[in-house]
Amino acid sequence: MLLPKLLAALLVLAPAPRVALARPDDGSLEAFLRRVRAAREAESARLAPEVETLVAKLGVARTASELKALEAKLEGMGSEAMPLLIPFLDPGANAPPEKLKQAQEVAEVLARSKSSALLEELVRMASNATPQGRVLAMRVLGASPESERALAALRALYPQVSGALRAECVRSLARLASDDPLIVASLADTHPEVLAAAIRALSSEPRKKPRAEVVSLLGDGNRGADVLNELVEYFSVPGQELDEDVVVALARFACREDLGPAARLKVLDGLPRFGVPLSSRLRRELEPLLESTDSAIKDGVLIALTLLNDSKARRDLMKFYDEQVKGSPGWPLAYQRRGDVELKIGEYRDAARDYQQALRLHDDSAKLPGNRDLWVNLARAYIKDNKLKLAADALAEFGLTSELRRTLKADPDFQPLAESAKYKGLFE
């Protein structure tokens, strides 16, 4: 009889196995929370393999439609799947292209999810992940529904980061609070990406006059040149009053031969949109460009002057293209080039006529892929001339690939067609 008693005593003294400690469901709040937590863990375990498979496919998807389908599947898995995506935000150090793409697509899905449950993990990742992972975590924070907490986290991160990380921090701050003081403070930064992020954020603020802090960049030859594209867009926003000094300062950037042609042409393209009439002073600033050996720069200034109602500039601009057509009446490219210039100066009917002639001269080869720009600009000229049917007919005749359909749908010039109840089917 001793052995059973000893065994009984040992059983009493020995710790029970953990599985034996499962607490009964007594109807308490604690029991309810245990059930919820267990159910959530079980659901996460069930979803994890499928999430991992779909995320892996994001990195190697080749088409927009394939990406869209994968993202739709992830989003269709519900809010329980979103926390499982967080680890994939960080592609790791020296990540291959497919991992970078995978992380960027995951960031898009998480940003759209608007899940408040992600905030704490995103803040942690924004501080501790690899640089690319931190950028993407900050990006998702900028879409957080927990705006006050996300703002507090981003404000705390701002002084700790620089360069691309600070630029992403500024972009997210702007999405959550467009008037955040750190955005204006960023205009004092020396990093071009941070400056560009701040100017873009400030471009959307209502204003009658441009901010003095932005105007001051025009007097800084180095920092101003780094963000010339952003400055042109900022000063091109309608509804603000610019004085001639601002436009003259921008024109001087266009005259700098040490800058790349694209940046200089961006300024020339913006001149007619600044709302400041052509004065003798502004014309004097631009005159050196009329002698430029770069034909694109010379055309750019002539186009700008033409749009500013300088009739002599128009004659000088068209002279070369008219002579080219006259000297080579059977050459399609001569008509196409003249059409391109006419399109830029708002002579849409003449542009359409020249594009049509170019297509006639191409004859059987008109619909070859190499002539895509010709057909697109013909449609563009029709849209600008408010002839939507002709534009739709031109695009349909050429044929729209899925890539071209996406490109045109995103082009502001094609919005009247894409938003038309009658013709929007072209882009679907």
| Residue whose structure tokens are 């601009």 | 317
Q: Phi/psi of residue 143, each to 5°?
A: -110, 10
Q: What is the model's pLDDT at position 34?
A: 67
Q: Where do the H-state alpha helices sit in 271-371? A: 280-286, 295-307, 311-327, 332-344, 348-362
Instruction: Tell me how far apart the alpha carbons of residues 343 and 340 are, in angstroms, rounded to a whole number.
Output: 5
Tell me the whole-structure pTM to 2 decimals.
0.83
Would you give per-residue pLDDT tens digits along the chain (428 residues)? 333 433 333 333 334 333 334 455 566 767 666 666 666 666 667 778 888 999 899 989 888 889 999 999 999 888 888 898 999 999 999 999 999 999 999 999 999 998 888 999 999 999 999 999 999 999 999 999 999 999 999 999 999 999 999 999 999 999 999 999 999 999 999 999 999 999 999 999 999 999 999 999 999 999 999 999 999 999 999 999 999 999 999 999 999 999 999 999 999 999 999 999 999 999 999 999 999 999 999 999 999 999 999 999 999 999 999 999 999 999 999 999 999 999 999 999 999 999 999 999 999 999 999 999 999 999 999 999 999 999 999 999 999 998 899 999 999 999 999 999 999 999 98
Q: What is the model's pLDDT at position 25?
A: 58
In this structure, the dihedral spanned by the alpha carbons of residues 51, 74, 143 and 146, taken in order and rounded to 10 degrees, is -70
Instruction: Tell me how far apart the alpha carbons of residues 254 and 264 are, in angstroms, rounded to a whole number.
Output: 4
Which pair of tokens denotes residue 214? Answer: 């932005």
Q: What is the model's pLDDT at position 62?
A: 84
Instruction: Tell me how far apart the alpha carbons of residues 285 and 255 are, in angstroms, rounded to a whole number.
Output: 8
Local structure of residue 92 (DSSP, 8 states): -
Instruction: Tell me how far apart the alpha carbons of residues 227 and 195 are, in angstroms, rounded to a whole number.
Output: 7
Half-sphere exposure of residue 41: CA atoms within 13 angstroms, side-chain side: 6
Q: What is the model's pLDDT at position 8?
A: 36
Which pair of tokens denotes residue 347? Answer: 């002579």
Q: What is the model's pLDDT at position 65?
A: 84
The amino acid sitting at 237 is V
Instruction: Tell me how far apart the alpha carbons of residues 239 and 385 are, in angstroms, rounded to a whole number.
Output: 25
Which pair of tokens denotes residue 5? Answer: 């008693």
Instruction: Tell me how far apart the alpha carbons of residues 111 and 116 are, in angstroms, rounded to a whole number.
Output: 11
Radius of gyration of the chain measured on its C-alpha atoms? 30
> How many Cβ atoms are within 10 Å of 295's Cβ, its own excluded?
9
Instruction: Tell me how far apart the alpha carbons of residues 322 and 281 are, in angstroms, rounded to a whole number.
Output: 30
Of 255, 245, 364, the C-alpha closest to 301 is 255
